[in-house]
Amino acid sequence: MTAPVDLVWLGSAEDAPLWPRGSLSVAGPSPAGVAASLARLLASERSAPWILFWAPSAGSVPDADVLDRLLGQPGDVFHAGLALGTGGLPGLIDFVSPTWMLNRDPDVTIEATSWRLSLETCLVRTDTVRQLGGVRADFLTISGCGLELGHRLVSRGAFVRHVPSLLGSSAPSPSRSVDLPLEDELRFVALRFGRRWALWALARAILTGAAVAADALRAARRIAHLPLPPPLPVYRRPASESAVRRDGRVTVLIPTVDRYPYLVTLLDQLRRQTAPPYEVLVIDQTSSENRTADLLKRFADLPLQVFRRDQAGQCSSRNAGLAAATGDLVLFLDDDEEIPDDFVERHLRSLQRFGADVSCGVVEEIGAGPLPEAFSYLRTSDVFPAGNSLVRREVLERSGLFDLAFDRGPRADHDLGMRIYLSGTFMVMDPGISVLHHHAPRGGLRKHGARVITYASSRSRLTHRALPAVSEMYLENRYFTGRQVREARWLAVLGTFSIRGGWGRRLLKGLVSLLLLPDTLRILFIRGRAARRMMSRFPQIPVLGA
């Protein structure tokens, strides 16, 4: 039996289709009409578990086979927005969140995570909009309110997927573009990031010529009294009722250098796992004069293999381990972490429950303070921590391994995560899967002089500035536009003025950062030039099995 689906028709009653799967609501093409239709559906006791928004400009409504296939997939929202021209919109987001992973659009022809939905073709779980809110009626365009809805849903835990096959054979031209008024762009930023960021985005748009000053000021006046929503709840999806298997051959991959005391603790915790690993691969890069030889004997009860490398490097070592791995899944860990006894089992449960191909957990760092609120609830992952991620082997076969450009610099995991995300892979971030990271004072990237100043230290010390490393700038150059890269630099400068504490401490930080501003700009210029030079030599991404 097919699941009921209500239809919200963004056209007139005269051209509305027959709809036997649920109720039909004629909303017309205006945000106010769509918002009113959705509100009536949500208030009804007979509403279907799914709602399909559809516009006549998108062609014929999907047939039963297309809908049934999507309802059987993991996800809360399915849409074809990118295929309808929503890519890169709204442009003002580049001034507040320029290099966010999900701000880089995947290819319009593949199924992939994307919040840039279009209400012209959108299938959404009714309970999702019931919990997180529906369509805002105060936008000028359907495109504007759809983008705000998509960003809101994905930010609060809904799984939002772009599915071009939703359009079927009646797909519009791939060259189609969406005209989004500046007022709607500014309204989006104010609703999703707050008034201060809206003012920042508007100022940067004027300064860079992205917006005409007169138009920008008119848009600002029109949304000056825009009512901002209260803090949004976190999406709560129903618990899985199916039995959870703990199967899957898991290869645990641990690079190490100069951290044997920490490594021994982690290996001891791996031997107590409720779902034992299939194999544990340690890639030891410790110098030969300091290298231990008793790991295999000490942990004879573990399926442990130790590979020794004379040349230290985080990417080359992990790639060597991946080349030797024989498991169906790979679990990435750092050598200075601690894990609970059901750690591997929790990752396997996450993959099975959500039908995901990558399970990412959170990394609790000693002395770093509480994690940001976005890391406290289940959601689509926009991170790929190499110290707490489980990935299916076939995913790495599609994405490639670690780029050797990051062998001695930060963000190797984020680069791999970008390629995994852009391949269409479904990634889940579960805060219930946590590791304790000791942030060891030696070994790891510290051996190469990286991560001397962290984000946490920059927010607690007056003279610390968390400026992007050369490899981070290289990553931005690889995946983002020139404007996004430029705005990321200005946000880095803005971040040097931030510190935790009272007003006196904030004022002092501001004065210190102002004095250091010429040096900050000098460092960013030098590193940016080095990052551009890297583009001529990299990427160097080995292929699994090659």
Calculate mean pLDDT across residues 136-140.
96
Q: Find, among 40, 249, 271, 275, the residue nearest to 135 by Cα.
A: 40
Three-state SS for 496-540 is CCCCCCCHHHHHHHHHHHHHHHHHHHHHHHHHHHHHHHHCCCCCC
Q: For 43-99, what is each residue's pLDDT tens digit?
A: 998 999 999 999 999 999 999 999 999 998 889 999 999 999 999 999 999 999 999
Which pLDDT does position 229 carry in this prediction? 87
Tokens of 287: 């110098």
Residue 427: enclosing H or E segment and its boundaries? strand 427-437
Q: How many CB atoms lie within 10 A of CB 243?
A: 6
Higher pLDDT, residue 170 or 264: 264
**In the numeric block, which tokens belong to residue 539?**
């990427």
Going by pLDDT thresholds of 50, 70 and 90, the confidence category of residue 196 is: very high
Predicted confidence at residue 501, as pLDDT, reads: 84
β partners of residue 262: none
Average pLDDT over residues 124-131: 97
Cβ proximity of 70 and 163 under 8 Å = yes
The reported pTM is 0.94
The per-residue pLDDT for 2 is: 78
C-alpha distances (whole Å) from 392 to each of 32, 352, 386, 404 are 44, 12, 14, 21
Position 534 pLDDT exceeds 50 = yes
Mean pLDDT of 513-539: 96
Residue 288: per-residue pLDDT: 84
Measured N-to-C along each axis, helices 195-207 and 182-193 cross at an angle, to the nearest 10 degrees, of 140
Q: At what angle do helices 213-222 and 182-193 cross, to 10 degrees?
A: 50
Q: Is 355 left (phi over 0), alpha (psi -120 to 50) or beta?
A: left
Residues 317-345 have a mean pLDDT of: 97
pLDDT score, position 168: 83
Residue by residue, DSSP assigns 442-484 as SSGGGGGT-SSS-HHHHTT-SS---PPPHHHHHHHHHHS-HHH
Q: Is 457 exposed, middle or buried (0-12, 13-18, 19+ CB in 10 A)?
A: middle
The CA angle 511-516-521, to the nearest 5 degrees, is: 130
Count CB atoms within 10 A of the CB of residue 18: 7
Average pLDDT, integer, range 469-498 = 96
Neighbours of 128 (CB within 10 A): 23
Average pLDDT, the chain: 92
Q: What is the pLDDT of residue 498?
A: 85
Give the closest residue to 334 by CA, choosing from 306, 363, 292, 305: 363
Query: Lowest-confidence range among 182-186, 198-202, 238-242, 442-446?
Result: 442-446
Alpha helices (H) along 359-441: 393-399, 412-422
Looking up tokens 């086979």, which residue turns up?
A: 65
Give the model's pLDDT for residue 176.
67
Q: Model confidence at 241, in pLDDT bands (50, 70, 90)?
A: very low
User: Is the pLDDT confidence value at 184 over 90?
Assistant: yes
Within 13 Å, how many C-alpha atoms sit on residue 23's CB side? 17
Structure tokens at 540: 């160097």
Residue with structure tokens 């300091």?
A: 290
- Answer yes or no: is pLDDT of 124 > 50: yes
Beta strands in 74-120 (DSSP E): 77-79, 112-113
Contact 141, 10 (CB under 8 A): no
Out of 290-294, 303-307, 488-492, 529-533, pick the least confident: 290-294
pLDDT at 87: 96
Phi, psi of 379 (to 5 degrees): -165, 175
Q: What is the pLDDT of residue 175?
A: 56
Q: What's the token pair of residue 17?
A: 């289709």
- Identify which of 218, 181, 186 has the alpha carbon closest to the alpha carbon of residue 200: 186
**Predicted confidence (pLDDT) at residue 118 exceeds the cutoff of 80:** yes
- Amino acid sitting at position 37: S
What is the rounded CA–CA span in Å between residue 170 and residue 168?
Answer: 5
pLDDT score, position 171: 54
250 and 278 Cβ atoms separated by less than 8 Å: yes
Residues linked to residue 7 through DSSP beta bridges, in sequence order: 24, 52
Q: How far apart, in whole angstroms, are the C-alpha atoms of residue 123 and residue 140?
A: 22
Q: Tell me the per-residue pLDDT of 346-367, one tens digit each, with 9 for 90 and over.
A: 999 999 999 999 999 999 987 7
- Cβ 368 vs Cβ 454: under 8 Å: yes
The pLDDT value given to residue 368: 73
Burial class (CB in 10 A: 0-12, 13-18, 19+), 191: buried
Q: Tell me, what's the pLDDT at 441?
A: 56
Phi first, then psi, for residue 302 (nearest 5°) are -95, 145
User: What per-residue confidence (pLDDT) applies to 240?
Assistant: 60
Q: Tell me what the mean pLDDT of segment 321-330 comes to.
A: 97
Residue 411 confidence (pLDDT) above 80: yes
pLDDT tens-digit profile of 143-161? 999 999 999 999 999 999 9
